[in-house]
Homo-oligomer: A and B are copies of this chain.
Amino acid sequence: MRMTPRGTAPLTAAVAGASGYAGGELLRLLLQHPRFRVGALTAASSAGSTLGEHQPHLPALADRVLRPTTPDVLAGHDVVFLALPHGASAEVAAALGEDVVVVDCGADHRLTDAGAWAEFYGGTHAGSWPYGLPELPRADGTRQREALKGAGRIAVPGCYPTGVSLALAPGFAAGLLQHDDVVVVAASGTSGAGKAPKPHLLGAEVMGAMSPYGVGGVHRHTPEIEQNLTAAAGAAVRVSFTPTLAPMPRGILATSTARLAAGVDPAAVRAAWVEAYAGEPFVHVLPEGRWPSTAAVLGSNAVQLQVAVDVRAGRVVVVSAVDNLTKGTAGGAVQSVNLALGLDEGLGLSAAGVAP
């Protein structure tokens, strides 16, 4: 049984996949976290090189040598963050004891439905772990954070599901939205596509370019969004989701719309979101007349939301902005680990963006 850390001794954290974008952001956050000390850094093909060759923005760790991603290297830390391709984390986690908190930043342990896993990812379903989106409202009136307190395994949400689920869940939890007519269109910065070089991700291609991908409901984040909204609604929610790539390094702007349930007073809609997030340090419903911007949350753990009712079309439109690498991945991971370890939930995290 894992023990809550006592006192102020440093906790050690290993990062597997330290040469990628998620790994780099995890390390940036761990460096500014008052309780963590960065332990082993591992990689696949980059093992043997120094971190400075891959993450030139992290001078404090520039000389660290990347080691291979093996259980031996990762063992003996208080927390192990896995930023690996999907399919790789279950085996690693199994080899680490229950006294290690294992945080999977990949997709393997997010979905509870093995059928959805098979349909969207294929291969064997690794099972599900407590889902690392603390603020998510659930149909029973509780929040997802309850499931994270003391957890030894954490499934970090996908970047799109973070922004979209927080955008719509309050309306579903409050019974304001129809369940079968949700449309989401989201734009992501290109770091969301990872660091493996591909021609269509070259700077010359993406600057000045907006383009879609995964159109027609085939993006793997679709069942994850539906799972979260279903948990909020207490009944099955179906989503049409279209992701696009935007000419920026980071950030997700999601426009999430659902049809108003019958009899709902449009004037009463906004209050459900304001109330849902009134006490949340990282989820901000903006004052009326102000709009979320990815620039305002760059490098921060904050989510910006705004809610509007399109009375003519009978739809609620919620726009949300998150940093796909921070709140959408590494920040959400650290926040969930804080909960798992009994630390202050926001420790080492900032709600301030780096702007302009």
Contacts and interface: CB of A to CB of B under 8 A. Distances in A.
A32 B33 CA distance: 12
Interface string A285-324: 0110011111111111010101011111101010101000
A interface bracket (residues with beta carbon within 8 Å of B): 35 or more
Interface in A124-151: none
Interface string A200-212: 0111111111111
A32 B259 CA distance: 41
B24 A205 contact: no
Interface in A189-227: 189-191, 193, 195, 197-199, 201-213, 215-217, 222
Nearest to A119: B312
Given A56-B290, A296-B56, A312-B217, A249 B212 contact: no
A212 B181 contact: no
A66 B55 CA distance: 39
A300 B56 CA distance: 12
Q: Which of A60, A202, A242, A255 has the most chain B CB within a 10 Å cutoff? A: A202
A260 to B, nearest CB: 11
Interface stretch (A68-76, A94-102, A334-342, A347-355): A347-355
A39 interface: no
Interface in A33-92: 52-53, 55-60
A253 interface: yes
Contacts of A169: none
Nearest to A304: B56
Contact of A207 (B249, B284, B290, B296): B249
Contacts of A168: none
A319 B290 CA distance: 28
A314 to B, nearest CB: 8
Nearest to A55: B355
A257 B216 CA distance: 10
Contacts of A110: none
Given A190-B202, A298-B208, A255 B244 contact: yes
B317 A215 contact: yes
A240 B317 contact: yes
A240 B57 contact: no
B239 A313 contact: yes
A311 B218 CA distance: 10
A138 to B, nearest CB: 23
Contacts of A310: 215-217, 240
27 contacts: A24-B355, A32-B350, A52-B287, A56-B293, A58-B353, A59-B284, A60-B351, A60-B352, A183-B315, A191-B204, A195-B202, A201-B202, A201-B203, A203-B207, A204-B356, A205-B249, A207-B247, A208-B298, A210-B251, A211-B294, A212-B255, A215-B306, A217-B311, A239-B313, A240-B310, A249-B355, A299-B299
Given A21-B356, A59-B284, A246-B247, 7 more contacts: A32-B352, A195-B356, A209-B251, A209-B294, A210-B251, A215-B255, A215-B291
The 6 A-B residue pairs with the shortest CB-CB distance in the complex, in nearest-first order: A216-B308, A57-B353, A203-B206, A217-B310, A209-B295, A197-B197
